[in-house]
């Protein structure tokens, strides 16, 4: 019996000694982790050294960058360069949310993606490249589109939000959710070749794929977006009022506008103060987190329909397939007139043989003067060719654009001018535009190229709230 008690006592002693040894190991581990935090690998120190000697950053600023959690909504033309420079700056946690996959048409402007990753989720492709640039940050992929139901929960995981999208409804969702969750929002956007101080109508906003984009332009704005984020993270916010005019000016909200082909290229516009009756941040706010997640705040409805409703009747429209059947290219007796209302750049890339280019901007810029028996053809706008304005011609007129929206407007305009001779002459549009699905009107191998791409300079705006 005594032997058993001795064995138990010995085991208890061994356990105590082991626990003491384990406690010592834990202390050693804690000390080692402290040393590891203060002594980074040489490559990390070299990466951060150039920033840390900048007076606006320093050691304190670098520590703030390392502890920051940043979410980029969109892994496209804006999100790629922004993420690239944020990763290089040593941001501790970088999240990216995007439900799209990489397409070959993205590669010229979305610089983190590679040909080998075509078909892969953009967030996975981007993070793969970011890890090669800097493996130390924590990268979090969100392989989904941002929705009202998911937005608050995702935003609460981060400190700073970057809006890198090109969709009006999503932009409003991001802004509202950032305000209601108390997150800093840095937003960059494209507005074609004209800057606007107020959100444009939804029907006038297009994606990069539809509206065209020049790679270095979107890259410039993505870099500026990253820079603005770094400034926000590293700038001290002591809460003490600064009386100097320069400090007051620096803190006033502003909008930075960039135009690649303007001189000067950059200009800054001071923004008005917050509205007293703002639907999100005022005392009488009607938009809440509950209204967002429940779906009662309908952003698609608020922004308006993203697609133009049909302005023409079925008898005024014809599909590309039907047009080719009625007017084959091999026909030598076809007297139909094809008007292409795309801009000159797109028309120059690909067009139908013998089509007439009249940009929609020219058509909309002129006033309607109906053609009648008492008026001569000189009353018609200067853009109307003779074969269209002839009062004797009954040759059918077809109007085509890229997506089938502008062509409907042009048909209405031509009819307002009386060119249909009170219904005696057919005027209609090509439904769906020149590149509609499988029934593309403009095909490769017929003196043209199928793929239409317009690379125009764009005005981008960047704002911080």
- Cα-based angle 112, 113, 115 (whole degrees, multiple of 5): 145
Q: Which two tokens stand for residue 37?
A: 């935090």
> Do 222 and 164 meet the contact criterion of CB atoms below 8 Å apart?
yes
- Gap between the Cα atoms of 265 and 262, Å rounded: 5
What are the start-end ranges of the H helices in 360-465? 360-365, 386-389, 406-416
- Gap between the Cα atoms of 239 and 81, Å rounded: 32
Count of CB atoms situated within 10 Å of the CB of 55: 6
Q: Which of 80, 164, 350, 401 is catalytic?
A: 401
Which residue in the block uniquely carries the two structure tokens 């005594």?
Answer: 2
Q: Which two tokens stand for residue 421?
A: 């001779």
Say whether 208 is catalytic: yes
Closest residue by Cα to residue 363 from 433, 415, 431: 415
> Do 164 and 73 meet the contact criterion of CB atoms below 8 Å apart?
yes
Helices 79-88 & 122-133 angle (0-180, nearest 10): 30
Say whether 281 is catalytic: no
- Give the count of alpha carbons within 13 A of 29, CB side only: 6
Closest residue by Cα to residue 208 from 188, 225, 222, 191: 191
Q: Which of 164, 208, 303, 350 is catalytic?
A: 208
Closest residue by Cα to residue 166 from 132, 185, 184, 192: 192
H or E element that contains 18: helix 2-38
CA dihedral 319, 321, 322, 326 (to 10 degrees): 140
Q: Which two tokens stand for residue 274?
A: 């917050």
Burial of residue 15 (number of CB atoms within 10 Å: 0-12, 13-18, 19+): exposed
Enumerate the active-site residues. Answer: 208, 401
């Amino acid at each position: 019996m005594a032997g058993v008690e001795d064995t138990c006592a010995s085991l208890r002693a061994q356990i105590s000694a082991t626990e003491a040894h384990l406690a010592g190991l834990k202390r050693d581990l804690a000390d080692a982790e402290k040393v590891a935090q203060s002594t980074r690998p040489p490559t990390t120190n070299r990466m951060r050294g150039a920033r840390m000697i900048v007076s606006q950053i320093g050691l304190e600023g670098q520590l703030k960058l390392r502890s920051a959690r940043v979410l980029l909504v969109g892994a496209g033309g804006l999100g790629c360069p922004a993420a690239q420079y944020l990763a290089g700056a040593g941001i501790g946690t970088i999240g990216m949310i995007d439900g799209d996959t990489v397409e070959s048409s993205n590669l010229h402007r979305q610089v983190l993606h590679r040909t080998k990753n075509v078909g892969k989720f953009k967030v996975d492709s981007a993070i793969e490249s970011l890890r090669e640039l800097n493996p130390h940050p924590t990268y979090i992929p969100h392989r989904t589109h941002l929705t009202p139901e998911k937005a608050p929960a995702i935003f609460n995981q981060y400190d700073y939000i970057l809006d890198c999208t090109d969709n009006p409804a999503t932009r409003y969702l991001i802004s509202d959710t950032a305000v209601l969750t108390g997150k800093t929002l840095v937003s960059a956007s494209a507005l074609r070749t004209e800057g606007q101080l107020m959100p444009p109508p939804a029907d006038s906003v297009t994606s990069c794929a539809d509206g065209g984009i020049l790679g270095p332009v979107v890259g410039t704005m993505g870099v500026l977006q990253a820079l603005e984020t770094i400034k926000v993270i590293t700038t001290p916010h002591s809460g003490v009022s600064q009386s100097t005019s320069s400090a007051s000016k620096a803190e006033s909200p502003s909008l930075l506008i960039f135009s690649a082909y303007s001189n000067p290229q950059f200009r800054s516009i001071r923004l008005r103060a917050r509205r007293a009756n703002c639907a999100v941040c005022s005392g009488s706010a009607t938009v809440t987190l509950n209204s967002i997640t429940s779906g009662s705040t309908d952003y698609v409805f608020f922004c308006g329909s993203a697609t133009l409703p049909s302005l023409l009747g079925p008898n005024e429209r014809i599909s590309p397939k039907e047009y080719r059947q009625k007017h084959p290219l091999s026909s030598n007796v076809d007297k139909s007139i094809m008007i292409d209302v795309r801009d000159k750049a797109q028309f120059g890339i690909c067009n139908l043989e013998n089509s007439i280019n009249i940009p929609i901007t020219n058509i909309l810029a002129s006033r309607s003067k109906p053609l009648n028996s008492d008026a001569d053809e000189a009353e018609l706008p200067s853009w109307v060719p003779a074969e269209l304005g002839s009062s004797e011609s009954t040759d059918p007129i077809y109007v085509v654009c890229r997506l089938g929206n502008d062509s409907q407007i042009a048909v209405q305009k031509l009819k307002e001018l009386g060119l249909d001779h009170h219904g005696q002459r057919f005027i209609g549009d090509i439904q769906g535009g020149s590149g509609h699905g499988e029934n593309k009107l403009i095909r490769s191998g017929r003196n043209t190229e199928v793929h239409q791409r317009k690379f125009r300079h764009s005005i981008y705006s960047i704002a911080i709230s």
